[in-house]
């Protein structure tokens, strides 16, 4: 069983989407052991014991993660199908490059396909995240 199918069918974590089954679209992107990866390329048994972050685990205490907030506020989504993979790719990118340039953002999401937005809203959203994180009250 593929990891994407295990997440969706067994664990009922349906935020990870099945897109192409060939690792081209990025809809199935998750974070495994701190690295971005496409869950349609892994067998579930190979992921046993690994730390996996899905879109469901990003929000904390019913509060959206700053990346999710930025996508919401800056129109970084349209139909929403690619959004979980895009958000997790952005999460990984920002963990490596906290203040990426537009070029770095575009390169960072290049493994994800969006068929609706034209990408500018996505790029703008990711670019706004450092501002959101830096201006947040440390006590919040």
Domain spanning 3-57, CATH architecture: Roll (3.10)
Residues 28-51: tens digit of each pLDDT = 999 999 999 999 999 999 999 999
Residues 53-103: tens digit of each pLDDT = 999 999 989 899 999 999 999 989 889 999 999 999 999 999 999 999 999
Let me know if domain 66-135 sits in CATH 1.10.150.120.
yes
Arithmetic mean of pLDDT, 113-120: 89
Query: Where in the chain do CATH 1.10.150.120 domains reside?
Result: 66-135
Q: What is the DSSP string of 14-80?
A: TTSPP--SSSSS-TTEEEETTEEEEGGGSBGGGGTT--EE-GGGTSBTTB--HHHHHHHHTT--SS-
Local confidence band at 138 (pLDDT 50, 70, 90 cut-offs): very low
pLDDT at position 54 is: 97
CA 65 to centroid of chain Cα atoms: 11
| pTM metric for this prediction | 0.90
pLDDT at position 137 is: 45
Query: Where in the chain do CATH 3.10.20.30 domains reside?
Result: 3-57
pLDDT at position 134 is: 60
């Amino acid at each position: 069983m593929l990891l994407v199918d295990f997440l969706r069918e067994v664990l009922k974590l349906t935020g990870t989407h099945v897109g192409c089954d060939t690792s081209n679209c990025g809809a199935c992107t998750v974070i495994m052991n701190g690295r971005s990866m496409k869950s349609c390329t892994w067998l579930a048994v190979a992921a046993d014991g690994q730390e996996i972050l899905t879109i469901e685990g990003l929000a904390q205490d019913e509060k959206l993660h700053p990346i999710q907030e930025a996508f919401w506020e800056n129109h970084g989504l349209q139909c929403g199908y690619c959004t979980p993979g895009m958000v997790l790719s952005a999460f990984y990118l920002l963990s490596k490059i906290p203040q990426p340039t537009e070029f770095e953002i575009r390169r960072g999401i290049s493994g994800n396909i969006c068929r609706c937005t034209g990408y500018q809203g996505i790029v703008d959203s990711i670019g706004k995240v450092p501002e959101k994180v830096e201006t947040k009250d440390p006590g919040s």
